[in-house]
Amino acid sequence: MLTRKTVNTIFLLGLVFSLVISIFKPIPWPAFALLMASWFLLTLGGSFFIRWNYHMTSLNSNNEINKPQVAITFDDGPHPEYTPKALSLLEKYNAKATFFCIGKNIEKHPEQFKEIIRRGHSVGNHTFSHANTFGFFGTEKVMEELTLTNKLVEGISGLKMALYRPAFGVTNPSIARAVKKLGLKTIGWNVRSLDTTFRNEDQVLKRITSRTQNGAIILLHDTSAKSIAVLERLLVFLEERKLQSVTVDQMFQIRAYE
């Protein structure tokens, strides 16, 4: 995939080349507009599609794994009603998962958060506020959010989280710098369930199962009844195909905590 550095270099070289050529032969302005539009669209896409690894490198799947494993992940919890239900289902089907939790929700529901850990699942940083404007935060503000969440978790559990998932999956230079400074490892996905959209339970499940294979990272949310219903059917699907859901750190053989 093209990274931001590569695209910017190509764009600048193209711009310089065009300007030099224009000295000898006029270049229509639409050509410059097309160059600018291409750069903008690539950068925009790279910000919203975490799998591109455009602004920063993330672990989105493990294509080299030789075991029948996938990693179910949950974003946006803990939730007082749905997180316990997710935990019960995971236990019922002998599955492990990774929960990327929002700091303010951990603060509201510390017992649910501690129960996630107690049951042997992994937890990661999903920002403190999960603000809709998070993509516009500067580096210092991003670091403040991530540090606040990590300190909160350390105070509750004694664990120093090393895994991070961007809010909304959005990445940019500010987030990349903050994550690098804090030494966190970014976790993405390659199977996005879209369980928070208008799609019904059957549509969400079909979307997941049609894309799931060894080494997949599946994105779900432990925040709604629909997601919990999908989870049980997904766990049955995995059991039938002898695929084991493990934590992200187990799949990649990395550390979830410092």
Q: Is residue 54 part of a domain?
A: no
Residue 102, C-beta contacts closer than 8 angstroms, at least 6 positions apart: 76, 77, 126, 127, 128, 129, 130, 149
75 labelled catalytic: yes
Domain shared by 214 and 185, yes or no? yes
Q: Is residue 10 part of a domain?
A: yes
Domain shared by 94 and 161, yes or no? yes
List, for residues 53-70, the tens digit of each pLDDT value.
999 999 999 999 989 999
Distance separating alpha carbons of residues 113 and 104, to the nearest angstrom: 11
Per annotation, catalytic residue among 55, 75, 76, 121: 75
Domain shared by 8 and 99, yes or no? no
pLDDT of residue 165: 99
List, for residues 160-185, the tens digit of each pLDDT value.
999 999 999 999 999 999 999 999 99
Q: Is residue 23 part of a domain?
A: yes
pLDDT of residue 15: 77
Distance separating alpha carbons of residues 175 and 72, to the nearest angstrom: 24
Contact 158, 118 (CB under 8 A): no
User: In 3D, which of 107, 208, 220 has the Cα closest to residue 157?
Assistant: 107
Domain shared by 64 and 44, yes or no? no
In this model, does residue 21 exceed pLDDT 70? Answer: yes
In this model, does residue 2 exceed pLDDT 80? Answer: no
Distances (CA, A) of 146 to 61, 128, 181, 223, 230: 23, 7, 11, 21, 30
Q: Is residue 257 part of a domain?
A: no
Domain shared by 28 and 64, yes or no? no
pLDDT of residue 20: 81
What does pLDDT average to over the chain? Answer: 94
In this model, does residue 201 exceed pLDDT 80? Answer: yes
pLDDT of residue 1: 66
pLDDT of residue 9: 83
Domain shared by 182 and 81, yes or no? yes
221 labelled catalytic: yes
List, for residues 222-238, the tens digit of each pLDDT value.
999 999 999 999 999 99
139-153: b or e for each residue (b if 16 or more CB lie within 10 Å)? bebbbebbbbbbebb
| CA angle, residues 170, 220, 223, in degrees to nearest 5 | 100
Residue 21, domain extent: 4-48
Domain shared by 64 and 39, yes or no? no
The percent of residues above 70 in pLDDT, for the chain, comes to 100
pLDDT of residue 140: 98
| Mean predicted confidence (pLDDT) in 140-150 | 99
Tell me how far apart the terminal alpha carbons of the chain are, to the nearest angstrom. Answer: 30
Per annotation, catalytic residue among 55, 109, 121, 221: 221
Domain shared by 115 and 176, yes or no? yes
What is the count of structural domains for the chain?
2
Domain shared by 41 and 109, yes or no? no
Q: Is residue 53 part of a domain?
A: no
In this model, does residue 97 exceed pLDDT 80? Answer: yes
Domain shared by 156 and 111, yes or no? yes
For position 74, which CATH number holds? 3.20.20.370
Q: Is residue 111 part of a domain?
A: yes
Q: Which two tokens stand for residue 145?
A: 């959010």
| Mean predicted confidence (pLDDT) in 11-31 | 79
Domain shared by 244 and 171, yes or no? yes
Q: Which residues partner with 191 through β-bridges?
A: 218
Distance separating alpha carbons of residues 128 and 149, to the nearest angstrom: 5
Domain shared by 19 and 142, yes or no? no
